[in-house]
Amino acid sequence: MTLTDIAIVGVGKIARDQHLPAIAEGGQFRLAATVSRSGGVERVENFDTLDALLEARPGIGVISFCTPPQVRYEGARAALEAGRHVMLEKPPGASLSEVEDLRALAGEKGLTLYATWHSRHADGVAGARAWLADKRVQSVRIDWKEDVRVWHPGQVWIWEAGGLGVFDPAINAFSILTEILPVPIHVTGAELRFPSNCETPIAADVSFAGPHGLTATADLDFLYEGDPFWTMAIETDGGMLTLTQGGAVLEVPGDRQGEGWGDQPGIHGEYPRLYSEMARLLAAGQSEVDTRPLTLVADAFMLGRRVDVAPFTDPTLKET
């Protein structure tokens, strides 16, 4: 099988931790080039700008964006205008309106646009969706807690407007929730806790509702020490479903699926599935752009009450 040439734009933590290994191991793509101002990957051509890559390497048909959301749109639009297929890290943009713009452009150009949600590919998610399909969901409780100092060291963009703060991890929970629930859900309120020196919240409570009395709550905390606590519990007329370890472990009455992360907390096995899905979309000539997780976040910001909390200083930052 021929490998498809792909380029990575933005060679930061998520690219090195997840994208590069997933591409190397996946057997669908070949990393043909990178775009990074701070250094690329050994033995792979690196460009300082996306424009330089698009001009110099017309044969690279697929561009995967790992840049922060605040700068994703301009690059993605340029890539689509240059006739390249595009894959976007989550969240697919800093605004819903820019993602709609990209969706329309990809449609006009007949190109594949894949807005990825890696957590939807955690080991327990497909089983959760199947199990819930014929249940009546009564309530959902999400706890999504991690230590930003451990999981996002030095990532200043998280605290800048558009970086989403605690919703950067929480959108993973929302991507799972919208994937597995058999009914729609909407935000009814939120409390957003903004450190006085940050433009995004460091913690939040969000409440949701759905048809026929369904309620959900999300307790989100970005200063939680110890192993990440990425959990959702769903009460149904057929008993309780839990997804733990970020969706890697599913438990329902009489069944447990997923091996979990053992002594290595984190994301396992999700990114290779994203690249498999991208290969499938390319072969089928399709796009996949589901903005529901980002819509829930935008709704929480629009509906949320804001509360000031203590300033946050990231000890992993050299300068703040």
Residues forming the site for a second copy (CB under 8 A): 73, 77, 94-98, 100-101, 104, 161-162, 164, 184-190, 194, 199, 210-211, 292, 295-299, 301-306
- Least gap, CB of 198 to a second copy (angstroms): 10
∠ CA 44-50-54, nearest 5°, is: 85
Determine if the peptide bond prior to 91 is cis (ω within 30°): yes
Residue holding tokens 């957590």? 119
- Least gap, CB of 140 to a second copy (angstroms): 14
Cα 175 to Cα 132: distance, rounded to the nearest angstrom = 16
Residue closer to a second copy, measured from CB, 94 or 115: 94
- Least gap, CB of 240 to a second copy (angstroms): 25
- Least gap, CB of 28 to a second copy (angstroms): 31
Residue closer to a second copy, measured from CB, 102 or 241: 102
The tokens describing 9, both together, are: 């734009």
Give the torsion sign (CA, 58, 59, 61, 62). negative
Which of the residues are catalytic?
90
Q: Comparing C-alpha atoms, which of 34, 56, 89, 127 is closest to residue 267? A: 89
Residue holding tokens 């472990």? 249
- Least gap, CB of 279 to a second copy (angstroms): 29
Residue closer to a second copy, measured from CB, 189 or 238: 189
Cα 18 to Cα 48: distance, rounded to the nearest angstrom = 22
Residue closer to a second copy, measured from CB, 256 or 305: 305
Cα 35 to Cα 153: distance, rounded to the nearest angstrom = 21
Cα 49 to Cα 38: distance, rounded to the nearest angstrom = 11
Residue closer to a second copy, measured from CB, 101 or 147: 101
